[in-house]
Amino acid sequence: MTRINVKVDGVDYTDEVEPRMLLVHYLRETLGKTGTVVGCDTSNCGACTVHLDGRSVKSCNVLAVQADGHEVTTIEGIATDGELHPMQQAFHDCHALQCGYCTPGMIMQSIDVLNDNPNPTEDEIRVGLEGNLCRCTGYHNIVRAVQQAAGSGNGSSAGATATADAGEKAGAQS
Amino acid sequence: MIPAQFDYVAPTSVADALAALAEAGDDAKVLAGGQSLLPILRMRLNAPEKIIDLGRIEELRGIREDGDSIVIGAMTTYADVLASDLVRENAGVLHDAVTEVADPQIRHRGTIGGALVHADPAGDVGAPILALDAVLTVTGPSSERTVPAAEFFKDLFETAVGDGELLTSIRIPKHAGWGSRYEKFVRVAHQWSIVAVAATVRVEGDTIAEAAIALTNMGSTPLRATAVEESLVGKPATDDAVREACAAAADGTNPPSDLNGDSDYRKHLATVLTRRAVLAAAGK
């Protein structure tokens, strides 16, 4: 067992963990922070995305011991005083989820995308989210939500580079 | 999926890491960014008794200028390589290739040194390193040696880094003013390259004065397309001339056949992608 000191969602924790324990299992099983989910378990899907020292990582692809001395932010730590984070609010407003399983990772990666580039184009949003899979294929409204959170209008331009027909269909879904 | 049990050490200097490696012998595995190693451990394709984590060794991180070269520490992340103006200006084709590596989350953790030593033939940093004539510093318990990129890649997942040694830095001769393009062919987002081509050229007037081209996933290691390079030099940077030279891109290669494409398909892809990459690198 190895002792680690990690700050998670603003709270300091000290725990003895097996070196082989993945960060996502530490968050879920040791700390009970089940908001971060395991999707594919192969580092493809991005559902387990959290921030490590402010940058997005796939927490199924990081050992808990690698987070020793570092700061982790999960989906459970971004609301303040009962107020949703602007990205959470935007996902809510734009109905940017269907089954909701990819949502924690999508939101954490979307925040990272805006941290990197506060005014992304639609293409830049899609490229920024390439490591996050939505198997309901609800990408259209996810992109709208990121646009709303970026303050680039109400998201109505999402789909502007797709065919007009596809854009209308996506609009009808929301 | 959970890795098999292992002991873990996280040294804070290269000397301590080498000592830990010497003590552990064959049963140890070195952890860099972990973006390839952790999936391997989780799927239990490998179950080392000891993991030596280089993540706490500050001296292995960072990018600096050194005369006519830039030097990249082995533990520098893809994200830091991407953010570097030194890399963009002097090793453009490496910058281009790193934009194509996996996805942002992986690029925040994955390291250039880890990828080079992992030596997956479908990985994206081997070809630019080869095309740029980089020289790699390999450090052992008692000495340090340098290995040209052309001698670094030995075979599938095998490099010149021996038992008890670490790749510590990558030195790249400045290619300021060279145009570049990494042309990667995949079917879906953040897939491993089916084939990719790293091309960097220096154009004088309308003529290609120098060309360096390397291929990803056209064999068990990254390969230089020397026939194309030789044929391009002195030629005008026109569609016809480049097309003719790039027809030789797959000469002498023996690419794999798999579900993504058979060997002949890859050979065809290499000629097409090389033409596209060279034309783009030449600003066409």
The DSSP bridge partners found for residue A56 are: A51
Cα B262 from Cα B248, distance rounded (Å): 18
Last residue of a domain, one of A59, A77, A95: A77
Last residue of a domain, one of B153, B173, B193: B173
> Are residues A131 and A149 both part of a single domain?
yes
- Choose among A18, A65, A131: nearest Cβ to B105: A131
> Are residues B71 and B158 both part of a single domain?
yes
pLDDT digits (tens, 9 = 90+) for B132-176: 999 999 999 999 999 999 999 999 999 999 999 999 999 999 999
* A112 contacts in chain B (CB < 8 Å): 104-105
> Are residues B63 and B155 both part of a single domain?
yes
Q: What's the confidence (pLDDT) of residue A76? A: 98
Query: Per CB distance under 8 Å, which residues of A are interface residues toward B?
Result: 2, 18-22, 25, 41-44, 46, 49, 52, 55-58, 60-63, 65-66, 68, 109, 112-113, 116, 128, 130-132
* DSSP state for residue A10 in the 8-state scheme: T
Last residue of a domain, one of A77, A104, A131: A77
* Helix, strand, coil share of chain B (percent; to 5): 35, 25, 40
pLDDT digits (tens, 9 = 90+) for B31-85: 999 999 999 999 999 999 999 999 999 999 999 999 999 999 999 999 999 999 9
Domain hosting B218: range is 179-281
Cα B150 from Cα B162, distance rounded (Å): 16
pLDDT digits (tens, 9 = 90+) for B85-116: 999 999 999 999 999 999 999 999 999 999 99
pLDDT digits (tens, 9 = 90+) for B187-224: 988 789 999 999 999 999 999 999 999 999 999 999 99
Nearest CA in chain A to B36: A61
Cα B43 from Cα B2, distance rounded (Å): 8
Q: Which two tokens stand for residue B258?
A: 């798999």
> Are residues B81 and B166 both part of a single domain?
yes
Q: How far is A139 from chain B (nearest CA, A)?
A: 14
> Are residues B137 and B187 both part of a single domain?
no
Nearest CA in chain A to B54: A66
Total structural domains in chain A?
Answer: 2
Q: To which residue do tokens 């390439």 refer?
A: A130
Report how far apart, in Å, the C-alpha atoms of B190 and of each of A13, B62, B185, B186 are: 34, 25, 11, 8
What ranges in chain A are assigned the alpha helix state H? 23-25, 86-93, 103-116, 122-128, 139-149, 164-173
Q: Provide the edge-to-edge strand list for the sheet that holds B166-173.
A: B63-66, B69-73, B166-173, B135-139, B144-148
Within a domain: B167: yes
Q: Which two tokens stand for residue A99?
A: 């089954």
Does residue A159 register a pLDDT over 60?
no
CATH of the domain at B43: 3.30.43.10
**Mean pLDDT on A34-44:** 94
Last residue of a domain, one of A46, A77, A108: A77
- Choose among A22, A41, A131: nearest Cβ to B103: A131
- Classify residue A2 as exposed, middle or buried by CB count within 10 Å of its CB (0-12, 13-18, 19+): middle
Q: Are A171 and A86 in contact (CB under 8 A)?
A: no
Q: To which residue do tokens 């599938």 refer?
A: B156
Q: Which two tokens stand for residue B178?
A: 């060279």
Does residue A34 register a pLDDT over 60?
yes
> Are residues B152 and B189 both part of a single domain?
no
ipTM of this predicted complex? 0.94
Total structural domains in chain B?
Answer: 3
CATH of the domain at A153: 1.10.150.120
pLDDT digits (tens, 9 = 90+) for B217-253: 999 999 999 999 999 999 999 999 999 999 999 999 9
Domain hosting A49: range is 2-77
Q: Do A116 and B190 touch (CB under 8 A)?
A: no
Q: At B63, phi and psi to the nearest 5?
A: -130, 130
- Classify residue B244 as exposed, middle or buried by CB count within 10 Å of its CB (0-12, 13-18, 19+): middle
Q: Which two tokens stand for residue B278?
A: 């060279």
pLDDT digits (tens, 9 = 90+) for A100-143: 999 999 999 999 999 999 999 999 999 999 999 999 988 999 99
pLDDT over 70, % of chain B: 100
pTM, two decimals, is: 0.93
Q: What's the confidence (pLDDT) of residue B116? A: 98
